[in-house]
Amino acid sequence: MDIVTLLGIALALAMDAFAVALGTGMNLAALTGRHLFRLGFHFGLFQALMPVIGWLAGLTVQRQVAAWDHWIAFALLAFVGGKMLKEAFTHDDDARAANDPTRGLSLVLLSVATSIDALAVGFSLSLLGVSIWTPALVIGLVAGALTVAGMLLGRRVGDQWGPRVEIVGGLVLIGIGVKILVEHLAG
């Protein structure tokens, strides 16, 4: 696989992570290096691991998972997005700090939800006879870098637009979930 194709795949897979990171950056009360590291590391790690899992899984598992992977991504993103919307309307800074999407269950749910498509890419690469290790590394690095960039951009937008932008973060997550669902259902 040539580098241009690989980078194109990596960028395409990282778009969901970038969009979620943008919403997360807007939503956090304060953006720290720890937030950047946690979300960037986890999104990059999951984006790197999912193609490996898909590559190893083979055809039988892919057929079973393909029937409902879009529902999983939708449910996870809608859950976290709904949680963000609820917090936006409460305007409780203590609740925002306690429900930091870069920690705990929210972090894991977002990491899985934004990387499910990478599972199918890994499976496809196995059918093509492509070794997975270099693509997985590149996909993970690109996703991690775009996640950090998305959070930084989101923070700048959040600082300029004020606390009302929290609603945008939740709507972005729900919108990504709906987009994934529609794309898979429409074929």
- Residue 163 is predicted with a pLDDT of 54
The encoded tokens of residue 33 equal 């290096």
The encoded tokens of residue 11 equal 């960028």
Query: What H or E segment, with its residue span, contains residue 69?
Result: helix 69-90
pLDDT higher at 111 or 117 = 111
Highest mean pLDDT among 71-75, 88-92, 110-114, 121-125: 110-114
- Residue 148 is predicted with a pLDDT of 97
Percent of all residues in the chain with a pLDDT value above 90, rounded to a whole number: 27
Q: What is the DSSP letter of 165?
A: G
3-state SS assignment for residue 71: helix
What CA–CA distance (Å, rounded) separates 70 from 179?
10
Q: 1-10, 85-94, 131-140 — which is least confidently predicted?
A: 85-94
- Residue 37 is predicted with a pLDDT of 96
29, HSE (Cβ side, Cα atoms, 13 Å): 12
For the beta carbon of residue 176, count every other beta carbon within 10 angstroms.
Answer: 23
The residues, any chain, with a CB within 8 Å of residue 24's CB and separated by 6 or more, are 35, 39, 101, 102, 110, 150, 151, 154, 169
Highest mean pLDDT among 1-5, 84-88, 134-138, 170-174: 134-138
The encoded tokens of residue 155 equal 């923070």
The answer to whether the beta carbons of residues 106 and 80 sit under 8 Å apart is yes
Q: Indicate the average pLDDT of the chain.
A: 82
